[in-house]
């Protein structure tokens, strides 16, 4: 049976590169592009099918910052699919990012320079706004809309005989210090993106606790720092081009600079369930062997 994979935010950046790579690995996949903009999704679908004609590529229109849209898309998906094997929860925003120039210059001459560049800690603030649902936009897009999506799709995801996987695109910018249980939407702070990515990390742990027994597993992955529409909101593309030689040098010290969306998908692709299961079986074998050796040694002495 064809594997069914849903990718949110498939219209650009990491999501788009991921779709290409998924089809390179399995030509017969049923890939469903979950995008808010139908015409962009149609163009992506046509491009993917041009290089992989055997694949089945469909579209579901969903705006994860609009709960009505999430409910409608979930209903549509439940009519179309019996199950979803993988769901990549990747759509995300970092609206109106402001670079803290003072922090940048003081960081440049400190021992934390590599850490600062690879995590953007203390470098970025954003201007958030309220959505039509009355929620903070960054929280709703990056976290809550996806949470509702998986709650609604539970019947397609929870099969204890053959597990499904959720893979979240998180970020090194996720900071516990920016997240607060009393203000989970980060309505009072200036780093909603960092808070939302920490919330994603927490949510993944909670999903594992609450859904593993029902056959649903969740992981978070940081794709590294790449030049995409999102990062071009922080600095214009020509500045990224000028910075490229420096970033290439920094790559010797911090592999977080993945530079291109294609490289950024590496970690998302690496979470292979079969390899994980084989690895687990090897560990069990090794454990058996080590226990037997210890027992033998104890018996002899």
Ligand X SMILES: NC(=O)c1ccc[n+]([C@@H]2O[C@H](COP(=O)([O-])OP(=O)(O)OC[C@H]3O[C@@H](n4cnc5c(N)ncnc54)[C@H](OP(=O)(O)O)[C@@H]3O)[C@@H](O)[C@H]2O)c1
Instruction: Report CA dihedral (146, 150, 152, 158) to the nearest 10 degrees.
Output: 180
d(CA 264, CA 299): 52
- Exactly one of 193, 198, 217, 262 is catalytic; name it: 193
Which listed range, 51-59, 111-119, 229-237, 267-275, lies at the site for ligand X (CB under 6 A)? Answer: 229-237
Q: Tell which positions 160-179 bind ligand X, by CB under 6 A.
A: 169, 171
# of chain residues touching ligand X (CB under 6 A): 30
Strand partners, 61: 35
198 has catalytic annotation: no
19 interacts with ligand X by CB under 6 A: no
Residue whose CB is nearest to ligand X in the complex, by number: 13
237-276 mask for ligand X (x: CB under 6 A)?
A: ------------------------x---------------
User: Whole-number minimum distance, CB 114 to ligand X, in Å?
Assistant: 16
Nearest partner of 46 among 61, 28, 33, 27, judged by Cα: 33
Among 230, 250, 257, 268, binds ligand X (CB under 6 A): 230
3-class DSSP state of 125? strand
Which listed range, 8-16, 238-246, 270-278, 286-294, lies at the site for ligand X (CB under 6 A)? Answer: 8-16
229 interacts with ligand X by CB under 6 A: yes
**Per residue in 85-120, is it b (16+ CB within 10 Å) or e — as a string?**
bbbbbbbbbbeebeeeeebeeebeeeeeeeebbbbb
Non-local (6+) Cβ contacts of 285 within 8 A are none
> Nearest-5° angle of CA 123, CA 119, CA 131?
65
Binding residues for ligand X, rule: CB under 6 A, are: 8-9, 11-15, 36-37, 40, 62-65, 90-93, 141, 169, 171, 222-223, 225-226, 228-231, 261
Catalytic residues: 193
């Amino acid at each position: 049976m064809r594997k069914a994979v849903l990718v949110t935010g498939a219209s650009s950046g990491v999501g788009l590169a991921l779709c290409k790579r998924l089809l390179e690995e399995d030509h017969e996949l049923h890939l469903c592009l979950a995008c808010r903009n139908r015409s962009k999704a149609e163009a992506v679908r046509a491009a993917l099918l041009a290089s992989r004609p055997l694949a089945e590529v469909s579209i579901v229109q969903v705006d994860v910052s609009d709960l009505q849209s999430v409910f409608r898309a979930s209903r549509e998906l439940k009519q179309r699919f019996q199950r979803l094997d993988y769901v990549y929860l990747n759509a995300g925003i970092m609206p109106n990012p402001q670079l803290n120039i003072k922090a940048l210059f003081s960081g440049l001459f400190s021992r934390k320079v590599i850490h600062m560049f690879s995590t953007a800690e203390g470098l970025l603030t954003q201007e958030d706004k309220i959505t039509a649902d009355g929620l903070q936009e960054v929280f709703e897009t990056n976290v809550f809309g996806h949470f509702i999506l998986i709650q609604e799709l539970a019947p397609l995801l929870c099969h204890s005989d053959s597990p499904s996987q959720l893979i979240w695109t998180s970020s090194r910018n996720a900071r516990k210090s920016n997240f607060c249980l009393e203000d989970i939407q980060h309505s009072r702070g200036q780093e909603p993106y960092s808070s939302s990515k920490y919330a994603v990390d927490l949510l993944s742990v909670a999903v594992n606790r609450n859904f593993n027994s029902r056959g649903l597993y969740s992981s978070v992955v940081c794709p590294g720092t790449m030049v995409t529409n999102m990062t071009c909101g922080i600095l214009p593309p020509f500045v990224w081009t000028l910075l490229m030689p420096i970033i290439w040098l920094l790559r010797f010290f911090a592999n977080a600079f993945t530079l291109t969306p294609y490289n950024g998908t590496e970690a998302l692709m690496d979470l292979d369930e079969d390899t994980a299961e084989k690895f687990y079986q090897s560990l069990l074998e090794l454990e058996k062997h080590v226990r037997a050796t210890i027992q033998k040694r104890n018996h002899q002495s």
